[in-house]
Amino acid sequence: MQYQNPIIPGYNPDPSICRVGDDFYLATSTFEFFPGVPIYHSKNLVNWELVNYCLTTDTQLPLQGCRPSGGIYAPTIRYHDGMFYMVTTNVTHKGNFIVHTDDIRGQWSEPAWVKQGGIDPSLFWDEDGTCYFVSNGSDKGERGIYLCKINPLTGEMLTPSRLISKGCGGKAAEAPHIYKRDGWYYLMLAEGGTEYGHMETMQRAKDIFGPYEEGPRHPILTHREDNSDYLSTAIQATGHADIIEDQNGNWWLVCLAIRPIGHVMLHNIGRETFLAPLVWDEAGWPIVGNEGRIRLVMDAPLPGPAPTPVSHNFSDGFDGETLDLNWNFVRNPERERYILQDSCITLHGGETTLSTPGGSPTMIALRQQAFVVSAEAKMAGPVAMGQKSGLTAFYNHSAHYDLFVTQKEDGCYICLGKQVYDIDCVTASQKIDYQGEIELKVDSDNMWYTFSFRLPGGQWAELGRGMTAPLCTEATCMMTFTGTFIGLFSERGKISFDSFGLTANESLPNPPARFTFEEKETK
Ligand code: 6LW
């Protein structure tokens, strides 16, 4: 049965998956965004629904002041004996911790902090019920993969950390997961770093503490050599995987990968979640996808009901009593600044702006899950002097484009502002007869964000555009791991949004938009 990758597009990296009967649950990392660690549910590994977050309170998820891509690194989600567990790292606050719940769609516990260091923690239960905690780190001064026994409810280490592997020779051995099959303990790692050299390796041992031996396929998954043509560069940086056996005995691998904006090593919509079938050879070693490669369209014996067409369109009339799960905040929100009533959301913007380092701007934001999206918002309310309210394409505080209304001495203006590194400027502005209502729009493809507005009774008017390149992960001025959002925001004043709608076109224009440069013949 055919399916399309990525199965969970947009900024959804470091996927971890578990299964309860014929229900699959998948968690991804969230860094400085709140709530933390989304839980997606599926019955067929193709149609996924966002059903909850593991970290929904300020005590579970203290992000105050964290750097861009600080906060929550890679999670692991596991189910054992009636209880769900999620283990992850808050690199900004106290490190590794475990939360648990017996209702995955309900409230998760407060963190049980774990003394073993490192990042990318995972849990494994042996047949005798012993629970093990594994993470990468350098607890004994030696960088590598460390293992200890643990009480998963309290986080108490029951044995000291022991170094069990330094990986298979790639740099940055991380994202360890342990599995048991036919009497073997399998240790799967990400190596090579989460960029274009990313890969997945597999080792095994008869004793969980080793010694581990490497398999015949090294690595079991990588796209590091795939740079021959646009199609093959459509997927890069494959790695940070987890595997699962479905109810039919078929095995699957989920991993992160990126889709570059096209012919350059830049990606803006984040590291996304991909799916590949996995089979075991006669010697008990895994074969992933097409001999260690993943494709945008794959064919495999999917479990559960036949997939229905996938759409990442989204609309919100703000009619509910609570905000739709898809909306995120940057760091811990000041909840009193967000008022949901009378079928609109009112944002009470303060002095914290989209460009405030370490701040929580008054913004609700939605992951951009396709290159080609068109998002419209209906905004209403008076705009004060110096206030900025509108629509933003947001990567982080030093990489965002904002279409906003502001009040100046001589009247109201619609402006296109850009913050790229320390360059904060308005590249287009137009005086408007603003009577308290306006529609705002952003259209994107793999190369451009194009911003437009429409006054009541008027036509759409394009104000300006910005290249996707400065909002790409590789272009940010520090190592980051996230992706672009489409957001609604307000600074230094209040504004209301009556509706928001986004249509996502899953396929790129073919050929994709290119940044062309007309060579001039030199005489
Ligand atoms: C993740 C680790 C990594 O924890 O990036 O580069 C971190 N490798 O596996 C954030 O995704």
**Predicted confidence pLDDT, tens digits, the chain (523 residues):** 999 999 999 999 999 999 999 999 999 999 999 999 999 999 999 999 999 999 999 999 999 999 999 999 999 999 999 999 999 999 999 999 999 999 999 999 999 999 999 999 999 999 999 999 999 988 768 899 999 999 999 999 999 999 999 999 999 999 999 999 999 999 999 999 998 899 999 999 999 999 999 999 999 999 998 765 554 458 999 999 999 999 999 999 999 999 998 867 899 999 999 999 999 999 999 999 999 999 999 999 999 999 999 999 999 999 999 999 999 999 999 999 999 999 999 999 999 999 999 999 999 999 999 999 999 999 999 999 999 999 999 999 999 999 999 999 999 999 999 999 999 999 999 999 999 999 999 999 999 999 999 999 999 999 999 999 999 999 998 889 999 999 999 999 999 999 999 999 976 655 556 655 666 676 6
- Catalytic residues, which ones? 14, 174
From the CA of 2, how far away is ligand 1's center (Å)? Answer: 30
Q: How many CB atoms lie within 10 A of CB 360?
A: 20
The response to whether residue 197 sits with its C-beta less than 6 Å from ligand 1 reads: no
From the CA of 201, how far away is ligand 1's center (Å)? Answer: 15
Whole-number Cα distances in Å, 33 to 30, 51, 312:
6, 17, 20
With beta carbons less than 8 A apart as the criterion, state whether 130 and 149 touch.
Answer: yes
The response to whether residue 200 sits with its C-beta less than 6 Å from ligand 1 reads: no
The response to whether residue 241 sits with its C-beta less than 6 Å from ligand 1 reads: no
Tell me what pLDDT residue 477 has. Answer: 81
The response to whether residue 237 sits with its C-beta less than 6 Å from ligand 1 reads: no
Measured between alpha carbons, how far is 215 from 286 in angstroms, rounded to an integer?
A: 9
Tell me what pLDDT residue 517 has. Answer: 62
Distance of CA 435 to the CA centre of its chain: 38
What is the atom index within ligand 1 of the atom nearest the CA of 194? 6
Q: Which two tokens stand for residue 425?
A: 């400027």
The response to whether residue 13 sits with its C-beta less than 6 Å from ligand 1 reads: yes
Tell me what pLDDT residue 232 has. Answer: 47
Q: Which two tokens stand for residue 2?
A: 């055919």
* 488-519 tens-digit pLDDT: 999 999 999 999 999 999 766 555 566 556 66
From the CA of 73, how far away is ligand 1's center (Å)? Answer: 6
Tell me what pLDDT residue 148 has. Answer: 97
With beta carbons less than 8 A apart as the criterion, state whether 323 and 263 touch.
Answer: no
From the CA of 497, how far away is ligand 1's center (Å)? Answer: 36
Atom 8 (ligand 1) nearest CA: 194
Q: How does DSSP classify residue 130?
A: -
